Every structure is written in structure tokens, then in C-alpha cells.
Amino acid sequence: MRSVSGLLEMDLMNPTHSALTGLWLPLVTPFRDGALDERSLYRLVTHFAAQPIDGLILGATTGEGTSLDDEEAERLVSITSAALEAAGKSIPLYLGLSGADTRKTVKALERTASWDVTGYLITCPYYTRPSQRGLFGHFSALADSTQRPILIYNIPYRTGVNLANETMLQLAERANIVGVKDCSADPEQSFDLLRRRPADFAVLTGEDYLFYGALTLGADGGITASAHVCTAQFAAIRNKLIAGNQAGALADWTRLADLPRLLFAEPSPGPIKYWLWRAGLIDSPEMRLPMVPITAELASRIDQAMAGGSEGA
């Protein structure tokens, strides 16, 4: 099997970064009794290794990365890498990083340099709301600090700042800034980026409810939390579009479209963790404050959806 480090070498030699396509899963981080649940994590990764996913993201928003200490994050990577290797699954493995201080984020890149990851998903600096020049300087400094590929995570409704397309396109000129997880929530901005981006710059939608629409406009794939559920159905939609079967893809999406609404009815990843727990894939739906378990009302709706084999609410 090709290791994650082997995938990294392949990415650096391949300027098209063709691995940054398809269905990527931002994996939840299982907890139990306040600690990282390593047994559930291994079982979860083994399960998804058998599913048609094209990449994994660890410790990002869905993975409650801001609640992990450094030792837990390292164990998260180590266990995931080991489970993928045991399953014979060779896919890119990206680590989520966030922060409002460029120096601290550079130190995080240095600290994780020996970890078995392919690259990084890095959010725009939150709360401080830097200018576009500041954003350009931030990501340029990060690109200078690692040889690994960087996916920019543009999600202004969480960070308070939007990375404009002009700035994004300037950053796309950097060899190891290879794409974006697009959560701009602005269809016009997203389409403009898809029209103007260079061929070797990947655009992956991060808005689950826009998955089908983004693919029809030319997105390379999605980083899709809802794909923890009905994984094969999400993958099939993209495959049908690639094959030219738009009618079939639309029919599939029509059946699936209510699922993101259900799984984001309360703050993520609570509903997803509850579903995975009820499915026996993790031993607890536990979250870390300030995130809290889902309400009894939503739990009942999820139970009903699972019992009925429904993809939606």
C-alpha cells in the first residue's frame, strides 16, 4: 500500500493535484468519558475505508479540532493512518488547522511536520477580521513554512472575514496552495471563482446542501459532513454527473437533499454523532463544551429517519 507520506511525494511531483477531487469526509472525532475514544475511532475509520470516499479531513470543524490538545490530535492522526493502512485504503489525509495568529499557525505546521498527513486544511484567521492584504500575507507565510499542500478553508460566517476571489487567485499562484473548501455562502462568488480559477486549483464545496448544484457548476467535489450517512449515495451523484447522467444524478439528489437539513438542524457535529452512535459505529455521541448533545426532539426525528430507511427528515 502507498503510505500517506508516499501520497505527499506524489502530490508534490504532480502539479495538477488530481487527488483533490471527489467526495471528502471531514471525520467526526469520537469522545468517551472526556477522552479521545480510540477504539471507536479505529472502527469508524475502518468502516469508511470500505466506502467510496476520496479523502479524509481530521480535526476540522466537524472533527471538533479546536477542542483537541496537541497529544490528542497526534493520536487522532496516528490511529487514522494505521486504520487506513490496515484496511488497504490509500487516500489523502489532511489535518485541519485554525488560528488568528500567523506565528502560532506556523508553529503548528512545524509541530506537525513529522505527522503522517498529506496536507492541511487551514481556515482564514477568525475574529480579527484582517484586510485582504493581511489574508494574503497570512497564507503566504504558511505556504513558506511547509512543503505540504494547503487547502484554504473560506467560511466567512464562522471566521468573520471573507477571502475575496482576487486574493484567492493570487494565492493560487503559490505551488503548494492547491485549492479551497468553499463555504463562502455566496453563489455568485463561488461561480466566479470556478470560472476564473487555474486548472490546477481545486474547488471543493463545503456546503452540504449545495453539493449537487456546486458539482453541476464545475466544482471538483465536496468536503461533505452529511456523507457520514449514505456515503455511497453522495459518491454516486458525482459519478453519474461525470458519466453524463444528469437526470439520474438529479433523481438521486432529490431523494437525498433533506438529509443535510436534518443533520444540520442543530449545531454540527451533534446530529451526525448521534446518528453514528445509533448505528453502532461509535460508542458515544459525546461532545465537548461548548458543544452539547442534541435535543430529544431531534433525536426522535433521527430515530424515525433511521427506522424508515429515509435519507431525510
**Residue 75 contacts residue 69 (beta carbons within 8 Å):** no
Cβ neighbours for 84, distance < 8 A, ≥ 6 positions apart:
4, 45, 49, 56, 90, 91, 93
Q: Which of 155, 51, 53 is nearest to 96 (CA)?
A: 155
Annotated binding site: 62, 223
Active-site residue, selected from the candidate residues 120, 181, 273, 274: 181
Query: Quick one: CA torsion of 269, 201, 87, 241, rounded to 10 degrees?
Result: 80
The answer to whether 42 is a known catalytic residue is no
Active-site residue, selected from the candidate residues 94, 153, 212, 274: 153
The answer to whether 181 is a known catalytic residue is yes
CA distance 271 to 179: 28
Reply yes or no: is the peptide bond before residue 92 cis, omega within 30 of 0: no
CA distance 4 to 7: 5
Phi-psi region of 309 (alpha: psi -120 to 50; beta: other; left: phi over 0): left
CB atoms < 10 A from the CB of 46, how many? 15
Annotated binding site for pyruvate: 62, 223
Q: Between vectors from CA 230 to CA 225 and to CA 236, what angle results, nearest 5°? A: 100
CA distance 76 to 58: 8
User: Which positions are annotated as active-site residues?
Assistant: 153, 181
